[in-house]
Each structure stands twice: as C-alpha cells, then as structure tokens.
Amino acid sequence: MKNQSQVDAVLEWLNEYGSIEPMQALSELGCYRLSDVIYRLKKMGYKITTTMVTRQGKFRTVRFGKYTLKSNK
C-alpha cells in the first residue's frame, strides 16, 4: 500500500470534516507543520480560510489557526 502524502492526508481530512486545527493534524495525521501544508494547498488553488483561535492553556493563553475548506478548486 502506498504511503499518503501529508498534503493528500490534510486534503482528505478537510473534505471529510471541513476544518482542521494543528493538534488534530499532529495527532491524527502525523503532520507537524500544518501551516506549510495549507500554504501548498492554497497554491494548488484550494479555497481555505484561516480563523485565529485563542484558548487558555495550562500556563498561558495560546493562539493558533483553524483552517476551513470553503470549496473545492
């Protein structure tokens, strides 16, 4: 069985669930640099929006991007 690239895995996730956050990408897909994968998908023509999310972590407030697929190419 062929290994799936990170770009393909993230795109499949976005098509199935609509959005993805960095911790989901890391734990579910093994993708450490989600922002780079999103950048590559955008360059390929996919319409992906970024929403900044703020949450309280254990020691401080953290901010990260939540990426949402608006439509296929």
Here the CATH number for the domain that contains residue 65 is: 1.10.10.10
Pairing outcome for strands 47-56 and 61-71: antiparallel
Domain that holds residue 26: 6-71
Mean pLDDT value of segment 22-28: 96
The answer to the question of residue 11 being in a domain is: yes
Mean pLDDT value of segment 49-60: 95
Cβ neighbours of residue 53 under 8 Å, at least 6 residues apart?
Answer: 21, 63, 64, 65, 66
Residue 73: its pLDDT value, please? 55
The answer to the question of residue 1 being in a domain is: no
Residue in 54, 4, 47 with CA at minimum distance from that of residue 29: 4
Its pTM stands at 0.85
Residue 1: its pLDDT value, please? 41
Cβ neighbours of residue 17 under 8 Å, at least 6 residues apart?
Answer: none
Q: How many folded domains does the chain comprise?
A: 1
